[in-house]
Amino acid sequence: MIVVVAPGQGSQTPGFLAPWLEDAAVRDRVGAWSEAIGVDLVSHGTESDADTIKDTALAQPLIVAAGLVTADALLADGRRALVGGVAGHSVGEFTAAGIAGILEPSDAVALVAERGRAMADAAALEPTSMAAVLGGDADEVAAALTTHGLVPANHNGGGQTVVAGAADAIAALVADPPAKARVIPLAVAGAFHTRYMAPAVERVAPVAAAATVQDPTLPIWTNADGSLVDDGRRFVDLMVKQIANPVHWDAVMESFSGAGVTGIIELAPAGALVGLAKRGLRGTPTVAIKTPDDLPAAIDLLQSAGQEAAATA
């Protein structure tokens, strides 16, 4: 069984949309989304520098737009039937919801644009940040977080935890990491998935409640606890709550393992999630789709799984 996964914030890089927008139809579609949300995704996805697209209000719709156009190319010509399920990391859940039919793609982009604006405004209330902690003794890491007043925000598995809190506390942890641990500051603008984002939840909740929602047509796992969700409205509610609550990607990967996942394809802007899978799901084949040039390898992985399923049926 092959699953398709969508990355979260911090995966964006300057110009990452450019190769996808060489297709005129894709460019027109992204242009229409841009007009609808009042953000020039085409310009920011091709020309803006890293500091500009670090802005939460820009990064989130850019990432979801990229994931959706990548999924369209990957799953064309009947290949959707070969997918065993979808999941997204943090903001990538909006991409996953669009792929699974919970939200129309245009609604997913519109809703995530509001999420991005709300989270940017919440982050502006006080200086906060995030960092990835790699390795180290679990007890020593926990003690260091307590010392600095930080909390886990993303339980990523594969020996990686993303922590969040006051910007000066993150800087102190980077300067004095726990023994045998690496601490890497992340290119994000606030302490996402923590209490600092409570104002964003209050803003996004009524917008999400008014959205048109359908039940998923593909299996979809939630970041809340790694479980499958078959109720579209519940999935959207969980996405909203997730803004101020930790992401449990480690639980999602455990569910992948339990479900017998045999391959993982990460949508653009890819790289982070296949990296986690290589550590947390060792031996599982992965493909990271960064540009259209990566599509043939991803399609081969999908089709090989379909052929194996047919052979054992």
**Catalytic: 89?**
no
Cα 174 to Cα 130, 158, 179, 257, 275, distances in angstroms = 10, 20, 12, 33, 22
198 burial level (CB within 10 Å; 0-12, 13-18, 19+): exposed
Average pLDDT of the chain to the nearest whole number? 94
CATH topology of domain 2-123+194-312: Malonyl-Coenzyme A Acyl Carrier Protein; domain 2 (3.40.366)
Q: What is the pLDDT of residue 280?
A: 86
44 is catalytic: no
- Domain coordinates of the chain in residue numbers? 2-123+194-312, 128-185
Given 89, 148, 155, 193, which residue is catalytic?
A: 193
Q: CATH number of the domain at 128-185, out of 3.20.20.150, 3.30.70.250, 2.40.50.250, 3.60.15.10?
A: 3.30.70.250
Q: Of these residues, 34, 48, 90, 129, which one is catalytic?
A: 90
Low-confidence ranges of the chain (pLDDT < 50): none
**What does the alpha-carbon distance between residue 268 and residue 67 come to, in Å, rounded to a whole number?**
5
Q: What is the pLDDT of residues 114-155, one digit of tens each?
A: 999 999 999 999 999 999 999 888 899 999 999 999 999 999
- Compute the distance between CA of residue 145 and CA of residue 177 in angstroms, rounded to an integer: 10
Q: What is the pTM of this model?
A: 0.93
